[in-house]
């Protein structure tokens, strides 16, 4: 039976690791990949990182954090591949990493399911996996050593609690992220446990600004009564602003907007009173990923889960706060 690879817990558990050190690897010739290059020294840890895409401001900030931290100065010889939101690209990158004999594989899975075969192959090759950001559902036993990311369900719950307290009668349209991704399923679950009865419509905007705008245009026609949008990320909320203004309505007033992420553009919309509430999902944890990779490579015991701490913001934040935001 398929199972979720971990359960969300406020307190992380400890798990023992197996130590694997493999032979040297070559550089990926895929145009979407970048490498630490030059083959690195023998003392560098060879890491294959499969990023799921570049769909949002959050993802861009996360990639910058990963690249700034997984450096030769920090002991890492990185091969980074952008999957452009396609699972088949990601599976190919993971197989390439196995062929290259990297020491550690890190990846952010675009959706939760469909990884069984490649995860089994990685396990058979005895390459440890560090799961980043999103989660997997798989039949493979112990498919990864450690996972680091946000508590998506709690983010949805926090958004729902703000709506329940401030707009208990809201007619909500839910602008969902990439269907089948951990960020979509868990945010939806957490939100609906609190205010599910108020949701009158839903559609996916695939975590992008353009698709968020298109989905909102359709929703404005289909649900003329809607007065609040819960967008699973800032980018889709920013697309919703464009659609709402084009329809002659005022975002933040006629239609309230609640989002997740808290990137600078999203917080600017909050200061401009076009967003009403933003739950943070902090993308800057590259330094923590490096620490985990080093420990995993050394065969040390690491926590099975590391939850990145998030905040939440309302319209009382200041312009100075937004200007000082690092992502
Ligand atoms: O998995 C994290 C989510 O992915 C972010 O909230 C979203 O902006 C990104 O696309």
Q: How many CB atoms lie within 10 A of CB 194?
A: 18
Q: Which residue has the higher pLDDT, 104 or 22?
A: 104
Ligand 1 atom closest to residue 261's alpha carbon, by position in its atom list: 6
Question: Is a pLDDT exceeding 70 seen at residue 38?
Answer: no
Confidence band for 27, pLDDT divided at 50, 70 and 90: very low
pLDDT (mean) for 20-44 = 45
Residue matched to tokens 């895409």? 53
Question: Is a pLDDT exceeding 80 seen at residue 85?
Answer: yes
Q: Say if residues 207 and 177 touch (Cβ distance below 8 Å).
A: yes
Ligand 1 atom closest to residue 232's alpha carbon, by position in its atom list: 6
Question: Is a pLDDT exceeding 70 seen at residue 237?
Answer: yes
Q: How far is the centre of ligand 1, averaged over its atoms, from the C-alpha of 293 (Å)?
A: 22
Q: How far is the centre of ligand 1, averaged over its atoms, from the C-alpha of 227 (Å)?
A: 24
Q: How far is the centre of ligand 1, averaged over its atoms, from the C-alpha of 261 (Å)?
A: 7
Tens digit of each residue's pLDDT (9 = 90 or more) over 136-146: 999 999 999 99
Burial readout 41-71 (b: 16 or more C-beta within 10 A, e: otherwise)? eeebbbbbbbbbbbbbbbbebbbebbeebbe
- The residue ranges of every structural domain in the chain are 34-149+283-309, 152-281
Report the top-level CATH class of 34-149+283-309: alpha beta
pLDDT (mean) for 102-120 = 98
- Give the mutation target among 107, 179, 233, 278 for probing the ligand 1 site: most ligand atoms within 8 A of CB: 233
Q: What percent of the chain has pLDDT over 70?
A: 87
pLDDT in the model for residue 63: 98
Q: Judge if 34-149+283-309 and 152-281 fold alike in CATH terms.
A: yes
Question: Is a pLDDT exceeding 90 seen at residue 41?
Answer: no
CATH topology classification for 152-281: Rossmann fold (3.40.50)
3-class DSSP state for residue 63?
A: helix
pLDDT in the model for residue 18: 29
Q: How far is the centre of ligand 1, averaged over its atoms, from the C-alpha of 98 (Å)?
A: 27
Question: Is a pLDDT exceeding 50 seen at residue 303?
Answer: yes
pLDDT (mean) for 238-265 = 98
Question: Is a pLDDT exceeding 60 seen at residue 4?
Answer: no
pLDDT in the model for residue 324: 97
> What are the C-alpha distances in Å from 77 to residues 15, 19, 40, 47, 131?
26, 18, 6, 6, 18
With a Cβ cut-off of 6 Å, ligand 1 is lined by 55-56, 58-59, 133-134, 183, 207, 233, 260-261, 281
Tens digit of each residue's pLDDT (9 = 90 or more) over 128-186: 999 999 999 999 999 999 999 999 999 999 999 999 999 999 999 999 999 999 999 99
Confidence band for 269, pLDDT divided at 50, 70 and 90: very high
- Give the mutation target among 58, 153, 205, 232 for probing the ligand 1 site: most ligand atoms within 8 A of CB: 58
Sign of the torsion formed by the C-alpha atoms of 239, 61, 271 and 230: positive
């Amino acid at each position: 039976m398929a199972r979720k690879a971990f359960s969300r817990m406020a307190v992380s558990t400890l798990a023992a690791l197996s130590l694997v050190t493999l032979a040297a690897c070559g550089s990926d010739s895929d145009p979407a990949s970048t490498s630490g290059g030059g083959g690195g020294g023998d003392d560098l840890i060879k890491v294959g990182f499969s990023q799921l895409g570049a769909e949002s401001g959050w993802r861009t900030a996360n990639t910058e954090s990963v690249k700034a931290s997984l450096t030769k100065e920090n002991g890492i010889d990185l091969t980074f591949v952008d999957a452009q939101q396609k699972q088949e690209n990601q599976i190919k990158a993971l197989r390439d990493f196995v062929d290259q004999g990297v020491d550690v594989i890190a990846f952010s899975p675009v959706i939760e399911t469909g990884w069984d075969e490649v995860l089994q192959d990685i396990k058979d090759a005895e390459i440890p996996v560090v799961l980043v950001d999103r989660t997997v559902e798989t039949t493979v036993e112990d498919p990864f050593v450690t996972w680091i990311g946000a508590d998506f369900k709690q983010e949805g719950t926090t958004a729902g609690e703000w709506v329940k307290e401030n707009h208990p009668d809201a007619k909500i349209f839910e602008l969902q992220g990439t269907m089948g991704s951990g960020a979509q399923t868990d945010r939806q679950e957490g939100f609906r446990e609190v205010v599910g009865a108020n949701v009158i419509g839903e559609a996916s905007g695939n975590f992008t600004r353009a698709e968020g705008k298109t989905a909102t245009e359709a929703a404005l026609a289909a649900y003329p009564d809607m007065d609040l949008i819960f967008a699973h990320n800032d980018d889709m909320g920013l697309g919703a602003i464009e659609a709402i203004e084009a329809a002659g309505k005022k975002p933040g007033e006629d239609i309230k907007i609640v989002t997740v992420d808290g990137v600078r553009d999203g917080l600017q919309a909050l200061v401009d009173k076009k967003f009403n509430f933003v739950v943070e999902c902090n993308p800057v944890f590259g330094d923590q990923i490096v620490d985990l990779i080093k420990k995993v490579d050394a065969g040390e015991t690491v926590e099975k889960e590391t939850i990145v701490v998030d905040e939440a913001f309302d319209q009382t934040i200041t312009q100075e706060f937004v200007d000082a935001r690092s992502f």
